[in-house]
Amino acid sequence: MTDFDLFRINEDHEALREAIREIADEQIAPHAAAVDEESRFPEEALKALVATDMHAPHIAEEYDGVGADALATCIVIEEVARACASSSLIPAVNKLGTMPLILAASDEIKAKYLPPVARGEAMFSYGLSEAGAGSDTAGMTCKAIEQPDGSFVLNGQKSWITNAGVSEYYTVLAVTDPDGQRGRNVTAFVVEKSDEGFTFGAKEKKLGIKGSPTRELHFDNCVIPGDRMVGERGEGLKIALRTLDHTRVTIGAQAVGIAQGALDAALAYVKERQQFGKAIAEFQGVQFMLADMGMKLEVARQMVYVAAARSERGDTDLPFFGAAAKCFASDAAMEITTDAVQLFGGYGYTKDFPVERMMRDAKITQIYEGTNQVQRIVMARQLLKG
């Protein structure tokens, strides 16, 4: 690229960052440890984000949203994640769940389901993975069989669904033509929490992001009206993968936020911690660690912002940049949070300080919305395609 104007942080973006950081510091961070310890949904964060229209900032104004661009949405997620990773999944998953509608749904479906999310009356989750179909999404077995009246009967399950049970709406991918071509026989639907035959599994007991419930979705002869189909029949997997091209950027933003929180905590600690008669920040070995942490963090942030600009423009090379941003930022977050724990020494290994939580939270960013091994496959395919 010879064009250096890949993205531009304008005054509105900076004002947004200042506003959301204040909200995160004052209304979200004070509850982060308890949310993690009690494995409870961060109601305080939801209330604060809804009150400021930051719970689903990506939804367009025509659907009662604020119409934040992709970069602004990343800034919101980043700043919330800096305080509490679990809370950052409120705006992140609202975008994940609604993105298939934004990309492919009819005007009627958009008009029905986007405004309640934009107004904070409902949340939206995303059902793609299954117990036997994680990275191999085309191997899903959840089926939606069309009935004579045009409705579909949904049977099967979905695994690892973020904010399951809290969200009111779900984009669910299911096989609609069992004998059709693999990967081209999948269709997307909107499922409502109140639909008969739709239930949830037990909450997963996770290493991190404990404030965001992760549960299975179970479908037992769940009837879905035909007018809830998202996009064309058989186009579901294509829509799902296009969705991930955009939302992997938001996971990169989440990773950047977690890493920033860990670096901020480490910087404050090393300036105060005294050993051998001076602050440990004065030791060259510590300074080298801090320099590497800051360098990796800034590279990750720039990659995420460049990818966000491509997401906003709908560039054809978004699949590479989205995968690269998510992969690099999440790997960097894991390294930075681990180093933060190291800089805290024995204290870093305790729950008296936030860095151990940040390290645990960072790990999932290397796994969900496609493992980093899958991201490397995506990137290699894009490179080989030229």
CB atoms within 10 A of CB 6: 16
Helix (H, G, I), strand (E, B) or coil at 153: strand
> Which of 279, 378, 241, 254 is closest to 323 using CA atoms?
378
Task: Provide φ and ψ at 2, rounded to 5°.
Answer: -105, -10
Rounded (5°) CA angle 185-188-194: 135
Q: Which contacts of 6-9 are long-range, i.e. CB under 8 A and separated by 24 or more positions?
A: 6/306, 6/309, 6/310, 7/71, 7/305, 7/306, 7/308, 7/309, 9/71, 9/305
For residue 49, which of 74, 76, 71, 30 has the smallest C-alpha distance?
76
User: Rounded to an integer, what distance in angstroms lies between the CA atom of residue 344 and that of residue 351?
Assistant: 12
Structure token digits, residue 174: 């299911």
Q: CA–CA distance from 120 to each of 90, 154, 271, 338 (Å)?
A: 11, 28, 41, 35
Among candidates 191, 220, 209, which has minimal Cα distance to 127?
191
Is there a catalytic annotation at residue 369?
yes
Question: How many angstroms separate the Cα of 319 from the Cα of each of 186, 243, 336, 376?
Answer: 21, 10, 26, 11
List 130, 312, 356, 369, catalytic entry: 369
Q: Is 311 exposed, middle or buried (0-12, 13-18, 19+ CB in 10 A)?
A: buried
Q: How far is CA 108 from CA 23, 101, 270, 297, in A?
A: 34, 10, 55, 42
- In 206-343, at which residue ranges do the beta strands (DSSP E only) sit? 214-224, 229-230, 274-275, 278-279
Q: What is the CA radius of gyration of the chain?
A: 21
Please identify every residue annotated as catalytic.
369
